[in-house]
Structure 1
Amino acid sequence: MKALDRKLLRDLLRMRGQVLAIVLIVTCGMANLVTMMSTHGSLQLTQATYYDQYRFADVFVQLKRAPKSLVSRFEEIPGVGAVQTRVVQDVTLSVEGLAEPATGRLIAIPEQPTPMLNDLFIRAGRYPEQGDEVLASEVFVKANQLELNDTVGAILNGRWQTLRIVGIALSPEYIYEIRGTEIVPDNKRFGILWMQQKALATAFDMEGAFNDVSLKLMPGASEAEVIFQLDQQLETYGGLGAFGRKDQISHTFISDEIRQLSAHAVFVPSIFLGIAAFLLNLLLSRLVSTQRDQIAVMKAFGYDNLTVGLHYLKLVMVVVLLGAVLGAGLGWWMGRGMTRLYSDFYHFPLLQYEVRPQVLLTALLVSTGAATLGAFLAVRRAVSLPPAEAMRPEPPTTYRPTLVEKLGLQRWFAAPSRIILRNLERRPVQALLSVVGIAVAIAILVLGRFFTDAMGALVDIQFRTIQREDITLVFNNPLSNRAQFDLYNLPGVLRAEPFRVVPARLRFDHYHKLSGINGVEPGGELRRLLDRAQRPVTLPPEGIVLSTKLADILQAHLGDQITVEILEGARPTRAVPVTGIFDELVGISAYMDIHALNRLMREGFTLSGAYLQVDAHEQQTLYAQLKKTPAVASVAMRQTTIDQFNEILTKSMAGFTIVLVGFASVIAFGVVYNAARIALSERERELATLRIIGFTKGEIAFILLGEQAVLLTLAIPIGFALGFGLAALMTEIYDWELFRFPLVITRSTYAFAFVVIMAAALASGLMIRHQLNRLDLIAVLKTRE
């Protein structure tokens, strides 16, 4: 072993506590980087492979009814590579063991297995051979504990039919299996069933017709042009507006998740590696300062500047490599866990987790680059020291009166307190960086709990304050006002508030968006319109009220006239004034007074469904009747949605919070311990002198640790503010069309961050106090010759 390498080993052993703290921080940054990048890559590759192998479509459209003779016209549209027409129908299901009615989406498939768009992967069982046999989605089967050859009851066009499950399947169209009206999956009460084309068409009087189209585009085709021509051809057949893959709900969810992972892969590791670079700079600066004479001797023995610089850079590389190895292993383990978690929400034939070599290489280069950048100034200082100057002790600091002394306030402080204030004021940059490091740790703790706070607030605001109904009924077709009175004849219905939902394309200038216009009763008690501040939103007798997100998409403002193209009934096109814009958390909705919407449609009082308040004692009887009611297309229970939200919160956020808390604790401990340890090494002579002249061990511990306590006190409010800012940034990142996070941070989150940071500070303080008690006064006070 070379002499410089032996010296490096001795330095590492002597500073093992500080080195270990920095290694742990590098490990955290490396683990985050590997976890996020590998999970992102695995999820993205799995998605792309699945889409390609099972021919996921590019353009989709639902309609009322059209003849199959239109297929040839669709194929003639420039850019269209393949066309798939089918019958798709939502029906009410009765599942054994499930008291509530479920909703099944029946999708027609060819009588014989044939390659098609949105093709099926059959996990178990076989392809349907008879009209009453179906394939069921895997997640629906698992949620209801169904098995092959089990049956479910279904109302098909007013007729009761028993359907036998002969196979379990997956489709790229339903990787995230959810109804378009929901924001969380309810796999027990919503499932996909694939049925033979002939049997399903016959049941719904759709022989020779279809009500759903999927298109695959050729490379380089214009999606917008294809959508335009498709809408033109389907306008007379009740087309509900074609849309591209980016607006397909399953694809939207998983693509947003992939983009989020990509953002996290940059954002979170940057914090850890930045802190590691800062600590390495402190460590090497102090090492160079204490080894001035050794640097001089090395140069006197003929070591050139490059060799000396590389010697100190080796220390950085050792720290980085140790952190990289530990971080790669931890990142691999965390990535596997995150992939397993994603498999609970996103359903692929195989979600294979892998860490590609380029991921590890990128993570290593980033970690090495950050550490080298942090150590650069200290290494340059070591290289630039001339031997003659390095042989002399470092010149003493020029002392000046502190601010406290200038103001004449020193008499209010005891001698140890004045020493603390004097040292902080004379090293402002070092103190500031320590404060920033601790504040970042606190901010990460706040951020880790923010997601739980935000999800809890979202559930509370949306599903307890805004949505106060027990059940939401949606009818197969719009019904007259008589249906509102009929609802009160159902068992246990205490209150029924009608609503009207109309599919429409909203336009303003050259912006447009497919959306639904929700007509609700003004002043309704079961479904209220509230903004983020929970202020009531009043629906005017005329005009339309937009959510802030929808208004942003359309670039529309209060008072603007937007064009509403109704995609139902007579399909009128109207200019409607924007009479209100409010900030809601869920969806991108447009609202009108239900009577104004009926007038816009030029129809009498018509409703698409109703919000129901139900006597809890009559719920089971009501569910049994709804299962047999042909007019009901779907039934949604508010409490079920709340339970699903809480389950997702428990699954996804618990582990995420634990990881962030652990990593933030590492940062807190690393920053506080390194700052205190460096302060001890810089002031050993001063503290030893104070001991010699009569200061007790407790008093010198107060001087050293009191300085860290002041830094911690300054960092706590800054960390809280920084955490709030990061949470605000997250609300911008998670500004999705489906839902938005409210900016809510509870007192318990701040208290939690405070307790964790104090525990980390206490642990590092105890370690420093132990080292102070073992201080060798004679060795420290020896004067350099």
Structure 2
Amino acid sequence: MKALDRKLGRDLWRVRGQALAIGLVIAMGVMLQVMMDGLVNSLEQTRQDYYQRYRLAELFAPVKRAPRAVLERVARLPGVAAVEGRINGGALLSLPGLAVPVRAQAVSLPEWRTARLNEVHLVAGRRPDPGRRDEVLLLEGFARAHGLAPGDRLPATLNGARRTLAIVGLAQAPEFLYTTAPGEMVPDDARFAVLWMNETALAAALDLEGAVNEVLVGLARGAEPRALQDRLDRLLAPYGALGAYGLDEHLSNRFIVEEIAGLRVSSRTVPPVFLAVAGFLLYMVLSRMVQAERDQIGLLKAFGHGDGEVGLHYLKFVLVIALAGALTGALLGVLAGRGLSGFYQQYYKFPFLQFAVAPSALLLGLGVSLLAAVAGAALVLQRVFALAPAEAMRPPVPPDFSRSLRFGPRLKRWLDQPSRMVLRGLWRQPGRAALAVLGMAAGMALSVAMLSVMTAFDRSLELNFSVLERGDVTLSFVDPLGEQGLYALARMPGVLELEPFRTVPALFSHGRHRYRGALTALVAEPRLYRALDRRQQPLPLRADGVILSRALAETLAIGPGDRLRVEVREGRRPVLEIPVVGLADTLLGAPAFIELGGLNRLLKEGPRASGAHLRIDAAAGERLYREWKEMPVVAGVSLRTERRDAFRRVMDSGAGATRYVMAAIAAVITFGIVYNSARIAFAERARDLASLRVLGLTRAEVSFVLLGELGLLILLALPLGSLLGYGFSLAVAAGFSTDLYQVPVAFEPAGHGVAALAVLVAAVLSGALVRRDINRLNLVSALKTRE
């Protein structure tokens, strides 16, 4: 081995604790990047393969009732590669032990062939027999949630008629990766089912013999989806077209895409922050090492080693630590990704999911970590190149302390000699102190960000189901209900309060921006379901304008005062021009609100409601659920407590679950930063501390000089870390938020307090480790002059 390589090995061994801590910081950043990048690529590839294998349609065109002959006309449209017509309908399921009926979607299956589009994946059992009208396939997630299996019987209500269906198989489908009841945004396997029935049986049940109410279209290569949507709407308009939409507006696909996008944003933003902190730590360690080895650098140059060779030696020191940390992180990232892949497969309901890390992700992790290390070392290496041998071999010029911090008689009475030494040490080297404060503040900021986002998830849960929604039950009706029906519901014993609402599907547009959603109409001053402003104050609804959620306003690039084009996809399907009169802060979906009477007038209809929010007497709940189950006008019953539990499961699963991993990594990095700061301070001042021991100070007093300085630096870092943490919180929350749900971030003193406590605990542990080294100081060795 070369002499410089042997020196490199000795240097690494001497600072092994710091090298291990820095390597761990790098490993955590690379692990997070490799793990998340691998999950993103695996989920995206699995999604595409699943869609292609089971031929998921690219355009969906719901209609009221269209004859099957119209499918031939659709097939002749330019850009159409495949067409499938099917029947969709709602159903209510009555399960033993459940008082509340469960909503379901019934979908037809071709009887003598496989579907050209939207084929199902059979998980267990068999397909329905074409000769039997009561056999169905059941969505596997719902079946697992209720312990159902092939051979079980399922009581159901279809089009007002009670039937008993036989489950002959369990299935999955690419269009039902994300399953939620109509009108809701939160998926829940236990509260929504999908049934696949033979086409003849479902057509008879829904009075659609010889007709379809949904047209599926597969696009030819190079086809323009938007143009084909317009042609499809014009062709199907006589049959009650509700508006064709593409895969990008399909709710299940949108949810999956948004979740994957959230993971992708996190994988591109959070790991670089960790690696930047690691580069900063390497700069501090290398800077201290170069300063301590001035004379050795001079000797090396005097014996013929050039600037490049000496600089490469110190660069190797950085690269070895960075490379070891990066390789460890890559290995941990692959192992963690494989462990999480099974969880994600279950959560996303993919029939298959093979975790695979792209070579580019591994190379990117290695490259970014090495780049961060080199960037941290670049400034220090400039000083190495600038050192001339003769100058480097002379002891450095002693600093001028003639203008040091002075203490008056009163302060001297309050501060003992070690305390004054601590304050003078910080005063004399403000640059070093500032760097240490910034490093520890950055570590605390990472912890604050993760804790704040975790708290924000809980905060969004509380806001949505305690402040925005305050009703106990939400009823949805098969068809809009008039005043008499609502009055009858409100008079039922046990109903304390009833607020009607109406939801109509609509296409919103503003300039070039479009969004397929729904217009929600509430009473003028709602109490059970409200639109709130930033201060969580209710917004009164108006008949002459709409209030948009901020998420929808951002999507449409619209604000108060602008006019919104609303193409209603129900009834007479009017096209409305409505001014935007306000913005609401919502946490789920992207709704648009208007006053109920105003919407009915715009639709040229009488007082009608498609559902109602109710507050009920808890003691009458079971009885009311049974009565509503028997009412043919009721399409579904949804409990606020069940929606709350489902929302919590969503927040704790998928991309939301990665916040726990990131919080653990942030805690590790915080400890690594504080420990490194303590070790660097000890290495820089070992000679001074030994001199104090020789002069007669006790071990406790000497320890106080060093650890007291560390304590002051930490106290200075806490408020800065809190401020930086709030900024980090906003960035991380923006990465987790989607247009399906938003993660609100507010200043939470508890989160900042826990992060500060974590820094203090890390400081105590680091101080204990450094105190042990102070007690082991070899006074003779420390005072030797190496010349």
Query: Do the aligned partners of 1:153 and 1:160 also contact (CA within 8 Å) in 2?
Result: yes
Structure 2 counterpart of 1:711: 713
Structure 2 counterpart of 1:119: 119
Structure 1 counterpart of 2:701: 699
- Indicate yes or no: 2:466 matched with 1:464: yes
Higher deviation after alignment, 49-58 or 539-548? 539-548
Q: Write the distance in 1 (CA, Å) between the matches of 2:488 and 2:36.
A: 54
Structure 1 counterpart of 2:86: 86
C-alpha change, 1:259 and 1:652, in structure 2 (3 Å) is closer
Alignment of 1:766-781 (within 5 A): 766-781=768-783
Structure 2 counterpart of 1:68: 68
Q: Write the distance in 1 (CA, Å) between the matches of 2:243 and 2:429.
A: 66
**Unmatched 5+ stretches in structure 1:** none
- Report the Cα offset of residue 16 of structure 1: 1.2
Q: Write the distance in 1 (CA, Å) between the matches of 2:220 and 2:576.
A: 35
Q: Write the distance in 2 (CA, Å) between the matches of 1:570 and 1:561.
A: 21
Query: Do the aligned partners of 2:262 and 2:737 also contact (CA within 8 Å) in 1?
Result: no
Work out the number of aligned pairs and report it.
785
Q: Write the distance in 2 (CA, Å) between the matches of 1:666 and 1:457.
A: 26
- Report the Cα offset of residue 111 of structure 1: 0.4
Structure 2 counterpart of 1:254: 256
Q: Write the distance in 2 (CA, Å) between the matches of 1:407 and 1:52.
A: 83
Structure 1 counterpart of 2:602: 600
Structure 2 counterpart of 1:38: 38
Structure 2 counterpart of 1:12: 12
Amino acid at match of 1:674: N
TM-score normalized with structure 2 length:
0.95
- Please state whether the residue corresponding to 2:355 is helix, strand or coil: coil
Amino acid at match of 1:79: G
Higher deviation after alignment, 521-530 or 344-353? 521-530
Query: Do the aligned partners of 2:22 and 2:321 also contact (CA within 8 Å) in 1?
Result: yes
- Report the Cα offset of residue 764 of structure 1: 0.5
Amino acid at match of 1:479: L
Query: Do the aligned partners of 1:96 and 1:152 also contact (CA within 8 Å) in 2?
Result: no
- Please state whether the residue corresponding to 1:683 is helix, strand or coil: helix
- Report the Cα offset of residue 122 of structure 1: 0.8
Amino acid at match of 1:125: G
Q: Write the distance in 2 (CA, Å) between the matches of 1:559 and 1:220.
A: 39
Query: Do the aligned partners of 1:668 and 1:760 also contact (CA within 8 Å) in 2?
Result: yes
Query: Do the aligned partners of 2:64 and 2:240 also contact (CA within 8 Å) in 1?
Result: yes
Q: Write the distance in 2 (CA, Å) between the matches of 1:400 and 1:552.
A: 60
- Report the Cα offset of residue 735 of structure 1: 4.3
Amino acid at match of 2:64: K
Higher deviation after alignment, 705-714 or 311-320? 311-320
The structure 1 residue matched to 2:342, chosen from 329, 340, 346, is 340
Alignment of 1:414-563 (within 5 A): 414-488=416-490, 490=492, 492-563=494-565
- Indicate yes or no: 2:716 matched with 1:738: no
- Report the Cα offset of residue 377 of structure 1: 2.7
Structure 2 counterpart of 1:373: 375
Higher deviation after alignment, 695-704 or 17-26? 695-704
Query: Do the aligned partners of 2:266 and 2:736 also contact (CA within 8 Å) in 1?
Result: no
- Report the Cα offset of residue 455 of structure 1: 1.9
Query: Do the aligned partners of 2:187 and 2:650 also contact (CA within 8 Å) in 1?
Result: no
- Report the Cα offset of residue 558 of structure 1: 2.6
RMSD over aligned Cα, in angstroms? 2.4
Q: Percent identity?
A: 42
Higher deviation after alignment, 631-640 or 528-537? 528-537
1:111-138 deviation digits (Å, cap 9, x = unpaired)? 0341422221111111111221111111
Structure 1 counterpart of 2:320: 318
- Report the Cα offset of residue 202 of structure 1: 1.3
1:505-541 deviation digits (Å, cap 9, x = unpaired)? 2333443332222221222332233224210111124
Query: Do the aligned partners of 1:93 and 1:627 also contact (CA within 8 Å) in 2?
Result: no
- Report the Cα offset of residue 230 of structure 1: 1.7
- Report the Cα offset of residue 491 of structure 1: 5.9
**Unmatched 5+ stretches in structure 2:** none
Q: Write the distance in 2 (CA, Å) between the matches of 1:524 and 1:459.
A: 20
Q: Write the distance in 2 (CA, Å) between the matches of 1:264 and 1:714.
A: 30
Higher deviation after alignment, 81-90 or 370-379? 370-379
Query: Do the aligned partners of 2:447 and 2:670 also contact (CA within 8 Å) in 1?
Result: no
Q: Write the distance in 1 (CA, Å) between the matches of 2:785 and 2:68.
A: 98
Alignment of 1:614-653 (within 5 A): 614-650=616-652
Structure 2 counterpart of 1:242: 244
Query: Do the aligned partners of 1:453 and 1:745 also contact (CA within 8 Å) in 2?
Result: no
- Report the Cα offset of residue 403 of structure 1: 6.5
Higher deviation after alignment, 575-584 or 38-47? 575-584
- Please state whether the residue corresponding to 2:333 is helix, strand or coil: helix
Amino acid at match of 2:83: V
Q: Write the distance in 2 (CA, Å) between the matches of 1:57 and 1:289.
A: 67
C-alpha change, 1:41 and 1:512, in structure 2 (3 Å) is closer
Amino acid at match of 1:613: R
Q: Write the distance in 2 (CA, Å) between the matches of 1:635 and 1:769.
A: 65
Structure 2 counterpart of 1:763: 765
Q: Write the distance in 1 (CA, Å) between the matches of 2:630 and 2:720.
A: 60
Amino acid at match of 1:435: V
Amino acid at match of 2:369: S
Q: Write the distance in 2 (CA, Å) between the matches of 1:155 and 1:399.
A: 89
C-alpha change, 1:565 and 1:658, in structure 2 (3 Å) is closer
Amino acid at match of 2:360: Q
- Indicate yes or no: 2:703 matched with 1:689: no
- Report the Cα offset of residue 651 of structure 1: 5.1
- Report the Cα offset of residue 589 of structure 1: 1.6
Higher deviation after alignment, 113-122 or 163-172? 113-122
C-alpha change, 1:249 and 1:410, in structure 2 (3 Å) is farther
- Report the Cα offset of residue 315 of structure 1: 2.0
Query: Do the aligned partners of 2:543 and 2:599 also contact (CA within 8 Å) in 1?
Result: no
TM-score normalized with structure 1 length:
0.95
Amino acid at match of 2:34: V
Q: Write the distance in 2 (CA, Å) between the matches of 1:734 and 1:12.
A: 40
- Report the Cα offset of residue 681 of structure 1: 2.0
